[in-house]
Amino acid sequence: MPTLFEKIINREIPADVLHEDETCIAIRDIAPQAPVHALVIPKKVIPRIAEARREDQEVIGHLLLVAGQLARSEKLDDGFRIVINNGSDGGETVPHLHVHLLGGRQLRWPPG
């Protein structure tokens, strides 16, 4: 069964697309936790970061570079946070690796 993100990638579910290339798609989160909350999602299904393999290294690096580009385009000059959830205790709700880009306000530490 396709994940929610596969359905977005396949345009079965609409999304506010911020970026797309052959490796990933970036969308605005529908339940934002900050003024800027984007998700950078690989088109290749990697269930979670703990299951990534050596051959996924280039894809994961690309996701981080795209998140940085989005941060610049969203003018997050004062800072931002990148989050990757893993497993239920880590806040993972969709079993398809994705990077959260959060910014536009002061983010607190520790999170959660």
**Can you identify the CATH homologous superfamily of domain 4-103?**
HIT-like (3.30.428.10)
Q: What strands, in cross-sheet order, belong to the sheet with 36-42?
A: 17-20, 24-28, 36-42, 99-103, 80-83
Segment 66-80, tens digit of pLDDT: 999 999 999 999 999
Active site residue 98: yes
Alpha-carbon 17 to chain mean position: 12
Q: What pTM did the predictor assign?
A: 0.95
Catalytic residue among 37, 62, 96, 98: 98
Q: Report pLDDT digits (tens) over 80-97.
A: 999 999 999 999 999 999
